Structures are given as structure tokens and as C-alpha cells.
Amino acid sequence: MRAYSVRDVQRVLRLSPAVTRGLIRAGFVKPGRGPRRAYRLSFQDLIVLRTARALIDARVPRKRIRRSLERLRRELPASLPLSGLAISAVGDRVVVRDGETRWQADSGQYLLGLDITLEDGVLQVVEHRAEPAAATAAEVARDWFAEGLTLENTDPAGAVAAYRQAADENPHNAAAWINLGRLLHLLGRTEEAEEVYRGALGHVGPDPLLLFNQAVLLEDVGRTAAALDAYQAALAGDPDLADCHYNLARLYESLGRPQHAIRHLGEYRRLVSDRH
């Protein structure tokens, strides 16, 4: 069975070595080791890595990602069939198909579509997105979101405008709201960031990452009680948010509530340990 290096992952999947190693450290795959302790990944590892990255980018909660990847591992063959594979993901469900048929889900937004084939002995991975009959608000929002990601380091004001446009086009896109609020917070525009988070919760509901970012902002502006509520609400949606447990432990310690602090610090350490 062929083994792939981190450099192969970069060439075939277009994942940087840093991203690949981060996904490995997060426990999404457990590759073997070759000469000089270099990672050696299987065919299944490559596909799981690419799927994990797509689901993370789509802001799917980590617990749901892990369930999806466990299902994907069970369905993947040991080697690539002659007909190739088509993989799609809808929400937290991953579907694998042999042969020509793709996009088997009945409804929902496709987060991932991969065609995997062998050409002249070289593994080829091509990603597809669901193609609507006409340009939709969701498609336009994704373009604006991508523009925001591109501009963050060089033109923060332009990135803010792009994220706003993405949120306006698709108000149910939690990722656009999260990045907009986070960037405004980093720029010191805390009142605007707080307004963004409030509006976002009205559109997308109690998204755990959105609530976590809101809690960080509330803590920074001195609204401790509101920050505690937001952290707890984030954990209600995703109890495995390690950073949320850590922040709560630190906050409870500052409030003189050591028992609460110890409990959340213990949860943080358990979650971090489970990743390795």
C-alpha cells in the first residue's frame, strides 16, 4: 500500500504542511512514521484530511466533524477502485459513492465534493461545489467571505466591508458574522463588534463559536456576568470547546470561585489531552 508524505499532501490536496500537521495534532488522522520520524499517510488519511479541512472551513462543530470522519473511515476502501470515488458531505453526513454517480443527498447545502482518480499512477483529487441553477445569495456570500479572508492581513477595512457584504447576502452564514465580529474586536471597534454578535445570534441562533467570540468581547469590555452567560451558552451547544473551558476557569478564578475554576480547568486539560 502506497504511503504519502506531508509534501505529497501539499501537492495533491493543496494543504500546507502547517495545516496538515495541525489536523494530525488535532487527532483527525493517526499516520505512521517513516525515516527520520517523518509522517507517512495512507490513501484513507489523505481523504480524511481533505474532508476535515472542508468541514472546519464550513464551521461545522468539532464533535460533528469527528462523527462524520469516523463514518467516512468505515466507508473508504483500502485502495482506490478503478472507477474512482465521489465523496460528498451534507451537514454532518458524509456519503461515499463508487463510479459515476455524485451528489446523492436529497437536500441541504453541500460542503464538500471530491472526485478521486488515478491517472498514470498519480492520485488526482478534484474538489467540486454544488452548482445552483442560477447565482444564489449563498454563492455570492461565499465569494465575499473568500474576499474577506484574502484581505484580512493587508486591508482590514476592506475585509470588514467584505464580511459585512457576505452577512448581508446570506444572514444565516455564521462564519461571516463570526469573522466580522472577531475582526472588529481586533481593530478595537468593540461597540460595533457587540452589535454584530447580537444581530448574528438573531439570524443564526446559538452557534457555539459565535457565542464564544461574543463572550471574549464581553469579558474584554468588563461585562463579566454577561461574559459568563455567553461562555456557558457556548458550552451548552458544544461541550468540547476547550478554549471556552479554559476562559471560564480563568474567569472564575478571578472572581474567587475556585471550585468552578478547577472543574473547567480539568475539562480543558482532558480535551487537550484527548487530541494527542
- Grid coordinates of 199: 444581530
pLDDT band at 103 (very low <50, low <70, confident <90, very high): very low
Domain housing 187: 137-274
Do 145 and 121 fall within a single domain?
A: no
pLDDT band at 72 (very low <50, low <70, confident <90, very high): low
**pLDDT for residue 232:** 94
Cα→Cα distances 222→41, 154, 218, 219, Å: 47, 30, 6, 5
Tally of structural domains, the chain: 2
**pLDDT for residue 1:** 54
Do 117 and 143 fall within a single domain?
A: no
The last residue of a domain, from among 94, 127, 160: 127
In terms of phi and psi (left: phi > 0; alpha: psi -120 to 50; beta: otherwise), the region of 114 is beta
The lowest-confidence range among 94-103, 140-149, 223-232, 259-268 is 94-103
Do 155 and 208 fall within a single domain?
A: yes
pLDDT digits (tens, 9 = 90+) for 107-124: 223 344 555 554 554 445
Average of per-residue pLDDT across 236-258: 92
β-bridge partners, 114? 87, 127
Q: How many angstroms separate the first and last alpha carbons of the chain? A: 26
Do 90 and 175 fall within a single domain?
A: no
Yes or no: say if 117 and 124 are a contact pair by the CB < 8 Å rule: yes
pLDDT band at 105 (very low <50, low <70, confident <90, very high): very low
- Tell me if the pTM is above 0.75: no
Do 156 and 232 fall within a single domain?
A: yes
Do 118 and 173 fall within a single domain?
A: no
Rounded distance, CA 80 to CA 112, Å? Answer: 19
Rounded distance, CA 6 to CA 18, Å? Answer: 9
Average of per-residue pLDDT across 71-93: 55
Do 141 and 264 fall within a single domain?
A: yes
Residue 1: inside a domain: no
87 by Cβ neighbours in 10 Å (0-12 / 13-18 / 19+) ranks as buried
Do 28 and 153 fall within a single domain?
A: no
Helix, strand, coil in percent for the chain, rounding step 5: 60, 10, 30
Do 141 and 260 fall within a single domain?
A: yes
Do 116 and 178 fall within a single domain?
A: no
The last residue of a domain, from among 79, 109, 127: 127
Average of per-residue pLDDT across 55-64: 68
Longest dimension (CA), the chain: 65
Strand pairing category for 93-98 and 110-119: unpaired
pLDDT band at 82 (very low <50, low <70, confident <90, very high): very low
Average of per-residue pLDDT across 53-71: 68
β-bridge partners, 88? 95, 113
pLDDT digits (tens, 9 = 90+) for 35-47: 888 888 887 787 7
The last residue of a domain, from among 75, 108, 127: 127
pLDDT band at 234 (very low <50, low <70, confident <90, very high): very high
Residue 132: inside a domain: no
